[in-house]
Amino acid sequence: MLLTAQTLLTGRESLQPGWIEVSGTRVRALGAGMPPRPADRDLHTVAPGFVDTHSHGGGGSDFSAATRADTVAATDLHRRHGTTSLVASLVSAGPADLLHQVEVLAGQVRDGLIAGVHLEGPWLAVQRCGAHDPVLLRDPDPGELETVLRASGGTIRMVTLAPERNGGVAAIERIVAAGAVAAVGHTEATYEQTRAAIDAGATVGTHLFNAMRSIHHREPGPVIALLEDPQVTVELIADGVHIDAALYRHVTRAAGPDRLSLITDAMAATGAGDGRYRIGRMDVEVAGGVASLAGTATIAGSTATMDRVFRFAVAHSGLPRDEALLVAVRQSSMNPARALGLPSPELAVGARADLVVLDADLAVVDVLHDGTWVPR
């Protein structure tokens, strides 16, 4: 199959026009200008498939339910919106429930349904619990952490924790030693405590600004510590709800082109409409596409898909469109994959054939996953 495009974004460069040939599940060839033979399809824009490293569900389903049916429903919804690699995020749970969820999702990673597991909690700050049940939050226990890591069989890609909790820094060291990524989030940590976490091996800031101590001119807090360290990748939920466009532009400049990952933080309501849902044990109300804990103004994840945050990034970057597209591709595909040690989504000879087809307005037209068109 040979595809031509007015713009082919490989992840490293923009080919205008460009062409890409797929054979089976792999990219066979690609280039700029005229293709070697007539194309099977002529498209507007082609980009690498999106990589979402922080999503709790979608399509009415929650990854915490830990059933194959729920995972299939959520991944199918996100795949139709261009996400070809997805890490399933779990909210805080009791020890037995957490272990069960990890064991089930680990099997789904091995089956290739999802790209990995992200533990967002339960080792978080009560003051910054967000949509996590504060009753379930606790200090990291070495025995529990060891049991969960062992049960995952290496499928846990990231663990978000509050480093100021008792044993937090030691937990970061153990997580990194196990081959997973330690992330700082849902935290009241000071600047110095965050620096200690980074020195211990933390390399991701979970949804920067949200659910963490704010910047103060005499106590910079975690935001500044995470932004200024060149080894740290910071997440942003660029859905137009969690952060202002000015902050997206500021973080893009401050972190540079390779240290910002766009995420959805999607929950079950994504793609399923307004109504009442659950995230973990917490009741959530969704109105106007905004998810909040029932009866409160506390944001409870998002209803965004990766194509939506991609469009937000391009529209609000303040850059010329061609440059904005290149930056947004890095932030929505290349950077998330690299931060969590996932296979590169770059469109290159020999790479897995995962790509998203976009129209002039950057709406998803088609998605190719593992060399096969995703049913629309």
User: Is there a contact between 107 and 329 (Cβ–Cβ < 8 Å)?
Assistant: no
Same domain, 28 and 123: no
Same domain, 40 and 57: no
pLDDT tens sequence across 245-303: 999 999 999 999 899 999 999 999 999 999 999 998 899 999 999 999 999 989 999 99
Asked if the structure places residue 350 within a domain, the reply is no
Same-domain pairing of 29 and 124: no
335 among annotated binding-site residues: no
Helices (H), the chain: 68-80, 95-110, 142-152, 168-177, 191-200, 221-228, 245-255, 306-316, 321-329, 335-339
d(CA 188, CA 127): 7
What is the per-residue DSSP string for 264-289? --B-TTTTT-SEEEEETTEEEEEETT
With a pLDDT cut of 70, the percent of the chain lying above it is: 100
Q: Tokens 């409160």 — which residue?
A: 296
How many of the other CB atoms lie within 10 Å of CB of 199?
Answer: 12
Taking Cα atoms as reference points, which of 109, 111, 128 lies closest to residue 120?
128
Q: How many domains does the chain have?
A: 2
**Residue 285 sits in the same domain as residue 362:** no
Residue 202 is assigned to a structural domain of this protein: yes
pLDDT in tens, 222-257: 999 999 999 999 999 999 999 999 999 999 999 998
Question: Residues for the chain: how many in total?
Answer: 376
> For residue 373, is pLDDT > 90?
yes
Q: How confident is the model at residue 376 (pLDDT cuts 50, 70, 90)?
A: confident
Q: pLDDT category, 174, cuts 50, 70, 90?
A: very high
Residue 191 and residue 64 share a domain? yes
* Domain housing 41: 2-46+358-374
Q: Are residues 184 and 330 in the same domain?
A: yes
Average pLDDT over residues 151-171: 98
| Active-site residue, from 62, 70, 265, 307 | 265
Instruction: Looking at the structure, tell me whether residues 35 and 89 fall in a common domain.
Output: no
* CATH number of the CATH domain containing 165: 3.20.20.140
Is 143 a domain residue?
yes
Cα–Cα distance, 17 to 20 (Å, whole number): 11
Is 265 marked active-site?
Answer: yes
**DSSP secondary-structure letter at 333?**
I
Same structural domain for residues 19 and 144?
Answer: no
349 lies in a domain? no
Do the annotations mark residue 120 as ligand-binding?
yes
Same domain, 55 and 42: no
pLDDT exceeds cutoff 90 at 30: yes
State yes or no: 188 annotated in a binding site: no
Give the model's pLDDT for residue 338: 98
| 142 and 226 co-located in one domain | yes
Question: Is 238 inside a domain boundary?
Answer: yes
